[in-house]
Amino acid sequence: MNGIFTSQEYYQILQHITDALYVIALKPSGEIGQFVEVNEAACLQSGYSREELLQLKPNDMLASDRNNIDDLLNKHVMTGKTITMELLQKHKYDDPFPVEVNTQLITLNNNQQYIVSIVRDIRARKETENKLHESTKKLHSLFAFNPDIIFTINPDGYFSDVNPAAEKVLKYPKKDIAHIEYLSIIAEPYVEMTQKYFENILRGKIVHFEVVVISKDDEHIELDITAVPIIIDDKIIGAIGVGRDITLQNATRRKLLESEQQYRSLFENNIDPVITFAMDGTFIYLNQATEELTGFNKDELIGETFLPHIIPEELEKTQKEFAEALKGKPHQYETCMYNKMGEKVYLHITLIPIMVDNNMTGIHCIGKDITEKRQIEARLNYMAFHDYLTGLPNQHLFQKDFKKAMKDAKKFDSELALFFLDLDRFKAINDSLGHETGDLLLKKIAQRLEALLDNNAEVYRYGGDEFIILLNNANEKEAEVLAKKILVDFSISYDLNGVDVVVTPSVGISMYPHNGVDKKNLIRKADNAMYHAKLLGKNNFQFYQGNMRNKVNENFEMESMLRKALEQDELLLVYQPQVNASGNNVVGVEALIRWKNEKLGMVSPGEFIPMAEETGLIIPIGEWVIRTACLQNKAWQNQGFEPITMSVNLSIRQFYQSNLAAKVEEILLETGLNPVYLELEITESMAMQADTATKVLNDLKKLGVKIAMDDFGTGYSSLNYLRNFPIDHLKIDQSFIRDISQNEEDQNIITSIIALGHNLNIKLVAEGVETKEQRDFLVENGCDVLQGYYFSRPVEHSEIPAFIRSFLHIN
More confident residue, 686 or 237: 237
Contact indicator for 732, 763 with CB cutoff of 8 Å = no
| DSSP assignment of 444-501 | HHHHHHHHH--TTEEEEEEETTEEEEEE-S--HHHHHHHHHHHHHHHTS-EEETTEEE
pLDDT score of 555:
59
644, pLDDT greater than 70: yes
Looking at residue 132, its pLDDT comes to 66
Residues 135-139 have a mean pLDDT of 64
- Report whether 732 contacts 750 (CB < 8 A): yes
- Quick: pLDDT tens for 173-204: 888 876 789 899 999 999 999 999 999 999 99
pLDDT band at 552 (very low <50, low <70, confident <90, very high): very low
Identify the band that residue 641 occupies on the pLDDT scale cut at 50, 70 and 90: very high
Instruction: Report pLDDT digits (tens) over 679-720.
Output: 999 876 676 566 788 889 999 999 999 999 887 765 444 566
Q: b/e per residue, 246-274, with b = 16+ CB within 10 A?
A: beebbeebeeeeeeeeebbbbeeebbbbb
The per-residue pLDDT for 763 is 93
Over range 716-735, report the average pLDDT. 75
Q: Is 774 buried (19+), middle (13-18) or exposed (0-12) by CB count in 10 A? A: buried
Q: What are phi and psi of 129, to 5 degrees?
A: -60, -40
Strands 149-153 and 235-245: antiparallel
CA distance 269 to 262: 10
pLDDT of 717 reads 47
Q: For residues 9 and 602, which has the higher predicted lDDT (pLDDT)?
A: 602
Report in angstroms the alpha-carbon separations of 268 from 249, 265, 290, 393: 19, 7, 10, 47
Say what percent of the chain tops pLDDT 70: 89
Under 8 Å CB-to-CB from 457, ≥6 apart: which residues? 469, 470, 471, 472, 474, 482
d(CA 373, CA 505): 42
In the structure, what pLDDT confidence band is assigned to residue 82 with cuts at 50, 70 and 90? confident
Tell me: pLDDT of 66 over 70: no
Q: What confidence tens digit (pLDDT) does each residue in 646-681 have? A: 999 998 888 888 899 999 999 999 999 999 999 999
| Strand-pair category, 331-338 with 344-356 | antiparallel
Q: What is the chain's length? A: 811
Total H helices, total E strands in the chain: 28, 31
User: What is the pLDDT confidence band of residue 264, given thresholds at 50, 70 and 90?
Assistant: very low
Is the distance from CB of 732 to CB of 713 less than 8 angstroms?
Answer: yes
Q: Over the stretch 391-423, which tens digit does the pLDDT of each residue have?
A: 999 988 999 899 999 999 999 999 999 999 999
Contact between residue 240 and residue 152 where contact means Cβ atoms under 8 Å apart: yes
pLDDT tens track for 358-386: 888 899 998 889 888 888 877 777 787 88
CA 549 – CA 534 distance, rounded (Å): 13
Question: What residues contact residue 120 under an 8 Å CB cut-off, 6+ apart?
Answer: 19, 20, 99, 100, 102
Tell me if 684 sits within 8 A of 709, measured CB to CB: yes
Query: What are the angstrom distances between the C-alpha of 403 and each of 470, 509, 535?
Result: 11, 18, 31
pLDDT of residue 41: 87
Cα–Cα distance, 7 to 10 (Å, whole number)? 5
pLDDT mean over 142-151:
80
- Output DSSP code: residue 181: B
Q: Is the pLDDT of residue 556 over 70?
A: no
Residue 1: per-residue pLDDT: 41
**E-assigned strands of 58-135?**
83-89, 97-107, 113-121
Beta bridge partners of 416: 512
Residues 242/266, Cβ–Cβ less than 8 Å: yes
Could you give the domains of the chain?
7-121 (3.30.450.20), 147-255 (3.30.450.20), 274-369 (3.30.450.20), 407-435+447-549 (3.30.70.270), 562-810 (3.20.20.450)
Q: Decide: 753 and 384 in contact? Cβ < 8 Å.
A: no
Amino acid at 324: E
What pLDDT does 526 receive? 93
Whole-model pTM above 0.95? no
Q: Are 648 and 679 contacting, i.e. CB atoms less than 8 angstroms apart?
A: yes
Q: How far apart are CA 199 and CA 192, in angstroms?
A: 11
pLDDT in tens, 573-620: 999 999 998 767 899 999 999 999 888 888 878 778 877 877 788 999
In 3D space, the residue among 48, 50, 18 whose CA is nearest the CA of residue 119 turns out to be 18
Contacts of 592 (CB under 8 A, 6+ apart): 573, 574, 575, 576, 605, 649, 794
The larger pLDDT score, comparing residue 251 to residue 46, is at: 46
Cβ proximity of 283 and 306 under 8 Å: yes
- Please compute the mean of the pLDDT values over residues 50-67 and round it to a whole number: 79
Mean pLDDT of 325-350: 90
Min mean pLDDT across 165-169, 300-304, 531-535, 688-692 is at 688-692
Mean pLDDT of the chain: 85
Q: Which range is least confidently modeled, 19-33, 440-454, 644-658? A: 19-33
How many whole angstroms separate alpha carbon 767 and alpha carbon 769?
6
Structure confidence at residue 265 (pLDDT): 52
**pLDDT tops 60 at residue 263:** no
Highest mean pLDDT among 120-134, 263-277, 368-382, 389-403: 389-403
Terminal alpha carbon distance of the chain: 124
> 77-86, 112-121, 627-636: which has the minimum mean pLDDT?
77-86
Q: What average pLDDT does the segment 565-580 reach? A: 92
Over 90: is that where the pLDDT of 442 sits?
A: yes
Percent of the chain predicted with pLDDT > 90 = 38
Structural contact between residues 309 and 294, judged by C-beta atoms closer than 8 angstroms: yes
Q: Are 576 and 589 in contact (CB under 8 A)?
A: yes
Q: Give the start-end residues of each E strand in 523-654.
A: 541-543, 571-580, 586-597, 601-603, 645-649
* Closest to 35 measured CA to CA, from 74, 65, 61: 61
Task: Report whether the peptide linkage leading into residue 513 is cis, meaning its omega lies within 30 degrees of zero.
Answer: yes
The phi and psi torsions of 35 (rounded to 5 degrees) equal -65, 135
- How far apart are the C-alpha atoms of 287 and 273, rounded to whole Å? 6
Q: Is the per-residue pLDDT at 458 higher than 60?
A: yes
Mean pLDDT in residue range 247-270: 62
Q: What's the pLDDT at 260?
A: 40
Coil, helix or strand at residue 641: coil
- DSSP classification of residue 261: P
